[in-house]
Structure 1
Amino acid sequence: MKRKVEDILYDLSMPILNKYKFEFVDIEYKKEGGQWYLRLFIDKDGGITVDDCQLVSEALSDMLDEVDPIEHAYIFEVSSPGIERPLKTERDYKRNLNKELEIKFYEPYEGKKVIEAILVDFDEKKVILDYNGENIEIKKDIIAIMKPLIKF
């Protein structure tokens, strides 16, 4: 069910995102505090504005009502992924080359559940990180989340 809803939203959103030259980032369909949420995350060069989110939300709301992929009540949101957005697409990886990242693992990697490292290179299956001055190769399938490290 979850995958079907996400696939439907993806298919409905792509023509709209392409029209306005917005980048598809992710879809989230989950229950939080007793309420179901369907979220579409979008981006563009220079960042997404509230007006951009409203434009896409209005265009998709009617389409979602027409297709009616969810039988129960839910809240639909269109949002920016934010500056700490997880790396998911090839564009995300390219954008973060030579930048410091926080990497969380499904299970401890060399005794650590979280590390901070610099993204040196990547391909479909692995990343190469500068970790404490040493290049290490890690398979993507053991990484739970990888996102930019923001220091204040």
Structure 2
Amino acid sequence: VKRSESAITELIEPTVLAMELQLWGIDLSQRGKYSILRIYIEREEGVTITDCEKVSRQVSAILDMEDPIAGEYTLEVSSPGLDRPLFTSEQFGRFIGSDVKVRLHHPVDGRRKLNGSIENVSGDEIVLSVDGEGFRLQHTDIEKANVVF
């Protein structure tokens, strides 16, 4: 049985924090019969290749023991980068005024993909300005979001 991303986060976050890094987020996606688990780590002074390698080794050991992903998978560890994915309302709040690309679970006003800027964040409500029009979204409406650099 495949566990959700939140269950995987609970398994690995203590290890990432113990390495003096922040877990920015994870993305578990299917590619045919294989899965790809992307883990994004961060810290103020930046993330090195060595950090990624250490996290990869530690997390691999945990995942091998707990086996939360059905079938074969590839593990990728990286920094979020400039076009970073946004996973939480708090992360949206850190990027107020920034341009973002957002894909929604279900269309809002006939649109599933929105390109705009983050106007405001209040609790789980995110307001995007798209072509001069305000879109009020709940964080749960958002399937995927990235900062556009």
TM-score normalised by L of structure 2: 0.75
Q: Give the length in aligned residue pairs.
A: 149
Describe the shift of the 1:85–1:35 C-alpha distance in structure 2 as closer, same or farther (beyond 3 A).
Answer: same
Percent identity of equivalent pairs: 26
The answer to whether the 8 A contact 2:101-2:115 is kept is yes
Q: Please report the RMSD computed on the Cα atoms of aligned residues, expressed in angstroms.
A: 2.8
Describe the shift of the 1:46–1:134 C-alpha distance in structure 2 as closer, same or farther (beyond 3 A).
Answer: farther
In the alignment, does 2:98 pair up with 1:99?
Answer: yes
Q: Distance in 1 between matches of 2:5 and 2:111?
A: 35
Cα shift at 1:32? 1.8
Note the 1:66-145 alignment, pairs <5 A.
Answer: 66-70=65-69, 72-145=71-144
Partner residue in 1 for 2:2: 2
Q: Give the letter aligned to residue 138 of structure 1.
A: L
Question: Could you say which structure has the larger radius of gyration?
Answer: 1
Describe the shift of the 1:126–1:83 C-alpha distance in structure 2 as closer, same or farther (beyond 3 A).
Answer: same
Secondary structure of the residue aligned to 2:3 is: helix
Q: Distance in 2 between matches of 1:143 and 1:10?
A: 19
Describe the shift of the 1:147–1:70 C-alpha distance in structure 2 as closer, same or farther (beyond 3 A).
Answer: closer
Q: Structure 2: 5+ residue runs without aligned partners?
A: none
Cα shift at 1:102? 1.8
Cα shift at 1:50? 1.6
Note the 1:55-70 alignment, pairs <5 A.
Answer: 55-70=54-69
TM-score normalised by L of structure 1: 0.74
Secondary structure of the residue aligned to 1:2 is: coil
